Structure 1
Amino acid sequence: MLTILAQSLILLSLLLMMQICTPQAAVVAPENATISAVFMFGDSVLDTGNNNNLFTLVKSNFLPYGRDFMGGKPTGRFSNGKIPSDILAQQLGIKELLPAFLDPNLRLQDLIGGVNFASAGAGFDPLTSELASVIPMSRQLQLFDEYKMKLKSFIGEERADSVVANGLYVVSAGSNDIANTYFHTLTRLFDSSVSSYTELLARSASSFLQELHTKGARRIGLFSLAPLGCTPSMRTLAGGIERRCAEDYNQMAQLLNAKLTSELHRLNGAFPRARMALIDIYGPLLDIMKNPRKYGFKISDRGCCGSGLIEAAFMCNRWNLLTCSNVSGYVFWDSFHPTENVYKILVHGVLGKVLVDLYS
């Protein structure tokens, strides 16, 4: 029989092997980086609850959303638990959760370390936010101005300027423009080609980033679009009877990603004292979707909530008895948004490299 010491050594070796093999290495800021705060703009990938008090259907402040969040509380995050906003802020040691700027319970001390301006359903195309009755990207920039005024009144102008100048800014938008507006709005589908519409989105994204730079941002990470056609909802709506990946959505996302990459390169040349980088999640997420077992998952073609085929936002609710009891085997929480575990893999796997690019 093995001695207690031998058993302990074997157990320790197994634990070390698990740590080495995990794909979730911690996000570590480069040694030369001074990150005072994190600020989020965009859509549901980053929104931590700004839509809660809006008159819109694009909400998630009800169960089963947040089922695995701290205390099992639905907060307006479109997942079963934490989302990239929280995971990044926590990994950088800034704060455990990134609060929504429009949270009525937000305190002045919560402004330190950054806040969240993102609004689920928003897009670079102004029509996208208008159709969803959510906060447009232009209004998110105005809210940032309001934030700066409040911060200055709380800690003084010099300290506030330092927080803004040394903050890390993250933007996620474009998915709703393609998935909701272009393919499902006649005024866009018939008036614009795929090429011209992605050009419109790239120009709009560029204008947003330039305005953010004007307001003091110097380190900006822009999420690429995901492989939209392989999300459960797009498989259901556009993947045919076999629910295959809808390749026209994927191709359009890839085209926009290429144009965003080109635009970021141009902006880096125009603003030499700033750095902007693409947070490329297309490839990593597609690999998780196509090879779920490689990452410890089983199901990637439907979400946990409800049937997992179409439910999201108000359709993903506590009265849907089909919701899975154990989300650990799922890549998607609802039909469009990944689970907390998938978000952790993406943040840990991609953002470390992006931080090096931003602070090189």
Structure 2
Amino acid sequence: MKSAMFSKVLLFGFLSNCMFYVVSAQQTYGNSTVSALFAFGDSILDTGNNNLLLTLTKVNFFPYGRDFIGGRATGRFGNGRVFSDMIAEGLGLKNLLPAYRDPSLSSNDLPTGVCFASGGSGLDVMTARIQGVIWVSDQVKDFQNYVTKLNNVVGSQEKTNEIISNAVYLISAGNNDIAITYFMMPIRKLQYTLPAYTDLLVTWTRDLIKSLYDMGARKFAVMGTLPLGCLPGARNMVGNLMKICEIFSNQAAEMFNRKLSAELSNLGTTFPGAKFMYIDMYNPLLGLINNPQASGFIDVADGCCCTPTSVIPCLDASRYVFWDVAHPSEKSYKMITPKIIEDIREQLA
């Protein structure tokens, strides 16, 4: 009798362990074939890679992170979680996408993805250099180092290749190139017309994709720029007393986005076996700006914090479309991500 009871206990324990691993696998891969998420580009995705850089472009201090878990300033450019975190969660991977350069990064986080993006960065090397942040090409070098570490963690090149080829590569670049390098640095305007410069940005995007493709990447989700002229920083320019959207920056953003979308639709023939999708960030965010009441927002022109008009942070960031001069609030990201996650699952998973 005791022997039979003991056998039942062992069998129950074995089945429980089996169920644990099945549930864990489901939590890791969700309902898709996406193995991991890797983020490249700028502050829309950065989760803390700038914290240890000698740059002013970092936000690892209060009030940033005010609405994050534990109220911690992690280096995310917002009041809480950012876009890359929400995409990782929506794909069933994890709630937070860790920064690759975070000294406390756990080996357990490597197989399901990390963030290489750097706030202030862009496709143009000048964009990164003038701020002392990580240029996208250097982010690819970080990814190369990551692959070596991943191989050591998972124990085989075959498993590493499987993770790399089934991951989604999320890219956000072009915002700073247009808003800062082109419109604020005279040298680029002297060198290129706006059409020529946006052509260059698309070419550099293709170069970035090729670098990742050559390392095994196959699923690309590439984001267009925000409506740059409607950011609080652009609205609050000297002389803009009405705080209306700045038309030239928006026109430049639209021009780049059109070209980027068209380029991505044709890349399948250039990179066999790869999938590409364009993520429209411009129109969903503009929708929140043009119809704020529908989503419970009360202010679309000012940031909740850290602007000349918001020296003292607002009490409730969820009532603001923007957190600071250039970054959406956590709630804004929450409003626009569900449809994007659905599209990623349909087109890439």
TM-score, normalised to structure 1, is: 0.86
Q: Deviations over 1:265-318 (max 9, x none)?
A: 221222231101101111111010111111111110001004564x7xxxxxxx
Pair 1:253-2:253 in alignment: yes
Structure 2: unaligned runs, 5 residues or longer: 1-28
Partner residue, 1:342: 332
Mapped partners of 2:103, 2:323: distance in 1: 27
Matches within 5 A, 1:321-360: 322-359=312-349
Partner residue, 2:59: 60
What letter is aligned with 1:349?
K
Deviation at 1:355, TM superposition (A): 2.9
Mapped partners of 1:207, 1:77: distance in 2: 27
CA RMSD of aligned residues (A): 1.6
Residues 30, 356 of structure 1: 8 Å contact kept: no
What letter is aligned with 1:128?
T
Partner residue, 1:126: 125
Matches within 5 A, 1:11-90: 33-90=32-89
- Which has the greater radius of gyration? 2
Matches within 5 A, 1:223-262: 223-237=223-237, 240-262=240-262
Pair 1:193-2:193 in alignment: yes
Partner residue, 2:139: 140
Residues 90, 341 of structure 2: 8 Å contact kept: no
3-state secondary structure, aligned to 2:112: coil
Deviation at 1:229, TM superposition (A): 0.2
What letter is aligned with 2:221?
G
What letter is aligned with 1:250?
N
What letter is aligned with 2:322?
F
Partner residue, 1:18: none
Which of 44-53 and 266-275 deviates more? 266-275
Counterparts in 2 of 1:210 and 1:239: CA distance versus 1, 3 Å:
farther
Residues 278, 354 of structure 1: 8 Å contact kept: no
Mapped partners of 1:213, 1:103: distance in 2: 25
Deviation at 1:239, TM superposition (A): 7.1
Q: Deviations over 1:196-237 (max 9, x none)?
A: 111111111111111111111111100111110011100112
Partner residue, 1:103: 102
TM-score, normalised to structure 2, is: 0.88
3-state secondary structure, aligned to 1:200: helix
Mapped partners of 2:52, 2:249: distance in 1: 31
Mapped partners of 2:245, 2:304: distance in 1: 18
Deviation at 1:241, TM superposition (A): 2.5
Identity %, equivalent residues? 43
Runs of at least 4 residues of structure 1 off by over 6 A?
none
Pair 1:162-2:162 in alignment: yes
Residues 30, 93 of structure 2: 8 Å contact kept: no
Structure 1: unaligned runs, 5 residues or longer: 1-28, 312-319
Mapped partners of 1:354, 1:92: distance in 2: 8
Partner residue, 1:287: 287
What letter is aligned with 2:75?
G
Mapped partners of 2:146, 2:218: distance in 1: 17
Tell me the number of residue pairs that the alignment of Structure 1 and Structure 2 aligns: 320
Counterparts in 2 of 1:288 and 1:221: CA distance versus 1, 3 Å:
same
Deviation at 1:328, TM superposition (A): 1.9
Counterparts in 2 of 1:199 and 1:276: CA distance versus 1, 3 Å:
same
3-state secondary structure, aligned to 1:183: helix
